[in-house]
Amino acid sequence: MAKYAKLIDEKDNVATAVADCGTGDELTIKFKGNETRYTCNQDMPFGHKIAIVDIKKGEKIVKYGESIGNASKDIKKGDWVHTHNVKDDYKVLDKQGNPLPGQED
Amino acid sequence: MKFYGYPRLDGKVGARNYVALIPSVGCVNALVSHIEHMVRGTVAIRHDQGCLHPTADTEQVTRTLINLGKNPNVAAALVISLGCEMVVGEQVYEGIKESGKPVDMVRVHELGGMFETINKGAKIAANMVFETSGIQREEFGLDKLVFGTKCGSSDTTSGLSSNLVTGEVCRLMTENGGYFIQGEICDIMGGEYALKKLSVNEEEGEKIVDAVRDLYERGLAVGADVRGSQMTAGNVAGGLTTLVEKALGANAKGDNVPIQGFLNYAEIPSGPPGRYIMAFPGHGFENLTGSAAGGAIVHLFTTGRGAPNGNPIMPAIKICGNAKTNVSMQDHIDVDVASVINETETVAEAGQRFYEYAVSVANGKLTRAEILNFDSGMEILIKGPVM
């Protein structure tokens, strides 16, 4: 049975697997009438993300058409994308753009 | 597709036709329940607030009770006051009266206890049902619809199916001139700047960011970094990598529809039709109350693991994209969108289907939560200390 990943916005560089995937599994993305296939470079459970293009260290991870964090290392097309290679740098900011107190990294 | 609703004197249109029993303070809840059981057609809006608040919360509770009474699903309202509470019964009474609907009030201390109050209150309520139950549904445009939304008991499928499908409904219904109320400041946290970008003016957008700051600072006051309680170990195990990702998945319930304005808790939008962000929390009881007080006549409630609760005066439709939950929690789920996950239906197709379903609920179809009487609980958000 075909395994799918969901791409949400055309600007996204990751898609979300909706099946448990093993290394070498092929994931199909249906988007706006087109079908594209990607090979998983690592094991990846249901609900986790796969890179659909190469993403360099420091570049934005884009989902829902918006940045959700930055790549903390180089990511290859087909790689599992999660906390091991993405930095979450979100902080609540004051009006001047400085982090409010009490937020550890 | 047509909307058949109950016309109200203020020009608004209801999806239900209740006589609301509104306690001005939680102390009279038992009495309100007795009247509700005695008189068919009444619905009790039980809550535990109304006294020993700082002034700002007394005002918030008063506004909430007035605007619940004004909700178009309410045909008439009876305010039940104890007599010593901080929320002033007359204010609630006068506030609801502005809408032109029948309102009355009874006061327990004046009448001398429960039996005398029931004697008078139940008679008033019975006459209200007698007078209003004959109001007929009439045909109206889809511009008369006001929907609220929230996600609850969410999982990975929420941000990939039910929230996206609800976002499509937001787009369709606001294009048709309806109002759409979204909120959950805790879930917006991380996605506040994305919502600010969608705001039609800078000032309203900044209010959304301010609401997130306010939530963070209130957490900090009790020693919590609420970013951490928003992003759980379960979220990470489920595949969510960052708080921003989680927030964007929650924001998706409104798609990329422009935001017309920011609403205080339980505030009725007075600006042009479209999408609004209200300062309601994620917690279901206060959330649904805020939405209903804002004037929503139907609530679009997305879930992944199966949240059962509704609201006393506003039907809440449960929509779920998790195929397992749609079987295990079928008692509680109204709309199944696992089709979006397994690629047998597009978000656009499911959105049109859900829109039509929501209109059918506005037209009288009962939700699971209504059928199961799983809709009697509610609460009003307070922000300050309880004295």
B interface test, pick of A92, A98, A103, A104 with most B CB neighbours within 10 Å: A92
* pLDDT single digits (tens) A71-105: 999 999 999 999 999 998 899 999 999 999 999 76
CA distance A81 to chain B (A): 8
Answer whether residue B102 shows pLDDT above 90. Answer: yes
* pLDDT single digits (tens) A9-62: 999 999 999 999 999 999 999 998 899 999 999 999 999 999 999 999 999 999
Examine the domain organization and report whether B157 and B124 are in the same domain: no
Residue B381 lies in a domain: no
Answer whether residue B235 shows pLDDT above 90. Answer: no
Which among B160, B189, B191 is the nearest to A6, CB-wise? B160
Other residues' Cβ atoms within 10 Å of the Cβ of residue A77: 14
Q: Do A61 and B241 touch (CB under 8 A)?
A: yes
Banded pLDDT at B229 (limits 50, 70, 90): confident
Rg, C-alpha atoms of chain B: 20
**Which residue's structure tokens are 């309806």?**
B178
Instruction: Name the least confident of A8-17, B162-171, B212-221, B230-239.
Output: B230-239
Q: Which domains occur in chain A, in start order? A: 3-87 (2.30.130.110)
B233, with CB counted inside 10 A (0-12, 13-18, 19+), is exposed
Examine the domain organization and report whether B27 and B147 are in the same domain: no
Residues of B with Cβ-Cβ distance to A46 under 8 angstroms: 156, 239
Answer whether residue A1 shows pLDDT above 80. Answer: no
C-alpha distances (whole Å) from B382 to each of A10, B27, B74, B150, B310 are 41, 17, 23, 19, 20
Q: Do B249 and A64 touch (CB under 8 A)?
A: yes
**Which residue's structure tokens are 């178009």?**
B72
Examine the domain organization and report whether B144 and B125 are in the same domain: no
* Cα(B231)–Cα(B240) distance, integer angstroms: 9
Q: Do A90 and B243 touch (CB under 8 A)?
A: yes
Q: Give the chain B residue whose CA is nearest to the CA of A7.
A: B160
B55 CB-near residues (< 8 Å, 6+ apart): none
Phi, psi of B347 (to 5 degrees): -60, -40
- In this structure, what is the dihedral angle of CA atoms B302, B169, B287, B261, given to the nearest 10 degrees? 150
Examine the domain organization and report whether B215 and B124 are in the same domain: no
Answer whether residue B334 shows pLDDT above 70. Answer: yes
- Are residues A27 and A79 in contact, defined by beta-carbon separation less than 8 angstroms? no
* pLDDT single digits (tens) B113-124: 999 999 999 999
Answer whether residue B169 shows pLDDT above 70. Answer: yes
* Beta strands across the sheet bearing B13-14: B13-14, B3-7, B138-140
- Are residues B289 and B281 in contact, defined by beta-carbon separation less than 8 angstroms? no
Examine the domain organization and report whether B233 and B114 are in the same domain: no
Residue B232: per-residue pLDDT:
82
Q: What mean pLDDT comes out for the span B298-320?
A: 97
Examine the domain organization and report whether B242 and B367 are in the same domain: yes
Residue B315 lies in a domain: yes
Q: Do B241 and A45 touch (CB under 8 A)?
A: no
Residue B112 lies in a domain: yes
Examine the domain organization and report whether B180 and B226 are in the same domain: yes
Residue A105: per-residue pLDDT:
66
Confidence (pTM) = 0.96
ipTM: 0.97
* pLDDT single digits (tens) B358-385: 999 999 999 999 999 999 999 999 999 9
Banded pLDDT at B82 (limits 50, 70, 90): very high
- Are residues B35 and B21 in contact, defined by beta-carbon separation less than 8 angstroms? yes
B132, B157, B192 - which closes a domain? B132
B5-17 as b/e, with b when 16 or more CB fall inside 10 Å? bbbbeeebbbbbb
Enclosing domain of residue B66: 18-132
Tally of domains within chain B: 2
Residue B234: per-residue pLDDT:
84
Start-to-end Cα distance in chain A: 42
Answer whether residue B342 shows pLDDT above 80. Answer: yes
- Are residues A64 and A11 in contact, defined by beta-carbon separation less than 8 angstroms? no
Average confidence score pLDDT of chain B: 96
Q: Is B11 helix (H, G, I), strand (E, B) or coil?
A: coil
CATH code of the domain in which B54 resides: 3.40.50.261
Question: Among the residues of B18-88, which ranges form H helices?
Answer: 29-38, 55-70
* Cα(A37)–Cα(B228) distance, integer angstroms: 36
